[in-house]
Amino acid sequence: MDSQLKIGFIGAGNMAFGIAKGILSGNVLPANVKVSAPSSRNLGRFQELGIAVTHSNVEVVCGSDVVFVAIKPHVVPLVLNEISQHVTDRHMIVSVAAGVTLATLEELLPENSVVIRLMPNLPCLVQEGALLFARGSHAKQEDSALLRSLLHRCGLVEEGPEAWIDIHTGLSGSGVAFGAGRLLRDSGKHPAQLRSEVCTPGGTTIYGLHALEQGGVRASTMSAVESATERARELGRKSAAGSRK
Whether pLDDT at 165 is above 70: yes
Q: Which residues of 100-115 are buried (b: 16+ CB within 10 A; e: fewer)?
A: bbbebbbebbeeebbb
pLDDT at 217: 62
Q: Name the binding residues.
A: 10-15, 57, 70-73
pLDDT at 215: 65
The kind and range of the H/E element at 229 are helix 217-244
Q: Name the binding residues for NADP(+).
A: 10-15, 70-73
The whole-angstrom separation of Cα 177 and Cα 127 is 16
**Torsion 14-20-24-25 (CA) sign:** positive
**Torsion 20-23-25-28 (CA) sign:** negative
Kindly report the CATH number assigned to the domain that includes residue 139: 3.40.50.720
Q: Does residue 123 sit in the same domain as residue 35?
A: yes
φ, ψ of residue 243 to 5 degrees: the values are -70, -20
In-domain check, residue 206: yes
* Interhelix angle 217-244/76-83, nearest 10 degrees: 40
Q: CA–CA distance from 96 to each of 100, 183, 220, 245 (Å)? A: 9, 20, 27, 22
Give the burial class of 148: count Cβ atoms within 10 A of its Cβ; 0-12 exposed, 13-18 middle, 19 or more buried: middle
**Average pLDDT for residues 198-220, to the nearest whole number?**
72
Are the C-beta atoms of residues 159 and 132 closer than 8 Å to each other?
Answer: yes
Q: Does residue 69 sit in the same domain as residue 135?
A: yes
Q: Does residue 154 sit in the same domain as residue 68?
A: yes
pLDDT at 44: 96
Give the pairing of strands 66-69 and 155-159: unpaired
User: pLDDT band at residue 184, thresholds of 50, 70 and 90?
Assistant: low
Torsion-angle region of residue 155: left (phi > 0), alpha (psi -120 to 50) or beta?
left
The pLDDT tens digits of the residues spanning 3-46 come to: 789 999 999 998 899 999 999 988 899 999 999 999 999 999 99
Q: Does residue 166 sit in the same domain as residue 219?
A: no
Q: Residue 16: which residues within 8 A CB-CB, separation 6 or more?
A: 9, 35, 68, 70, 96
Q: Does residue 12 sit in the same domain as residue 104?
A: yes
The whole-angstrom separation of Cα 186 and Cα 196 is 17
pLDDT at 196: 75
Domain count, the chain: 2
Q: Which domain holds residue 83?
A: 7-171
Q: Does residue 56 sit in the same domain as residue 117?
A: yes
Q: Name the binding residues for NADPH.
A: 57
Closest CA to 40 of 55, 57, 20, 52: 55
E strand intervals along 103-169 = 114-119, 129-135, 155-159
Q: Does residue 94 sit in the same domain as residue 204?
A: no
The pLDDT tens digits of the residues spanning 59-105 come to: 999 999 999 999 999 999 999 999 999 999 999 999 999 889 999 99
Q: Does residue 47 sit in the same domain as residue 156?
A: yes
pLDDT at 130: 80
Whether pLDDT at 193 is above 90: no
